[in-house]
A = this chain, B = another copy of it.
């Protein structure tokens, strides 16, 4: 197979959303796929990742680490695919690779941007979830950004999500005495306890999170893994013990906001209780991927790390998947399977 005259479907940004994205902000288009140049590979994508952070790239926001998506150009994101043409000795035809050019059926990229994956122990799509950037995010959060220590009480928001579900389980592995998670709705809250082994689950749709957290952690918390921001961050700060640590990983509650969202009104507690709030970008931890994948593949294989996936079929469904992940429609990792 050659890429000559190959046409690939792709999801382009049609317009920038105001508030919640709508279908009209995306366009399914076709584009001619170039021939791979020397050192490049042609990949047929089989899975792509859909992540809340992508909402930020739909805005024209110059402060992002990753640049804004461009109107009329395809979106980007983590993906898995099979190499169908190669001009690189390192990445042969037939290899399964993870890379960053999702949102399209076929991609041409430099071989250096394609990591060959090992599916002998785990399914390929694990490299988008627990073994991918979301898993590494959770790992960095609980080991470096807000390190969990033996005996800690840990609270994780969006704990049924791809990052939160892994973070809570890793916190336990690191010796947390009690792990509390929050999620939206009784089904997800139940999953936290039954499948992911959390000690307590809060359903933020059932009432104010502050009161629920106070009940679940009457003596306070030491570590907070924040995927939500807003009320959850305020509740966590209010529940922190002296020396507490928060990893600010994401703030999905504010991604669709059309006006600035005020921060927590209890920030002085950060002074009083000597708290640390630390933001993170997973790209700062990519050098840990080999170490992390080695450890986490073992945890997945022996079932000590449990995961969930929400799978949507077909590239044309990817925009709805992104709109959904921002509403919490997913349990665990939101994935699009490409035929």
Contact = CB atoms under 8 A, between A and B. Distances in A.
Interface residues of A, number: 35
Contact of A274 (B260, B269, B279): B279
5 contacts: A63-B272, A65-B242, A260-B265, A263-B265, A270-B277
A233 B267 CA distance: 11
Interface of A: 56, 63-65, 229, 233, 242, 248-251, 254, 260-281, 284
B267 A263 contact: yes
A128 to B, nearest CB: 21
Contacts of A276: 276-279
Contact of A284 (B250, B274, B275): B274
A263 B277 CA distance: 13
Contacts of A264: 263, 267
Copy number in this complex?
Answer: 2
B271 A250 contact: yes
Complex A-B, nearest 7 residue pairs according to Cβ-Cβ distance, in ascending order: A263-B263, A262-B262, A260-B265, A270-B279, A271-B279, A277-B277, A263-B267
Max count, chain B CB within 10 A of own CB: residue among A248, A261, A275: A248
A303 to B, nearest CB: 32
Residue from the set A261, A271, A272 with the largest chain B CB neighbour count within 10 Å: A271
B273 A63 contact: yes
Contacts of A272: 56, 63-65, 279, 281
Contacts of A262: 262-263, 265
Contacts of A281: 271-272, 274
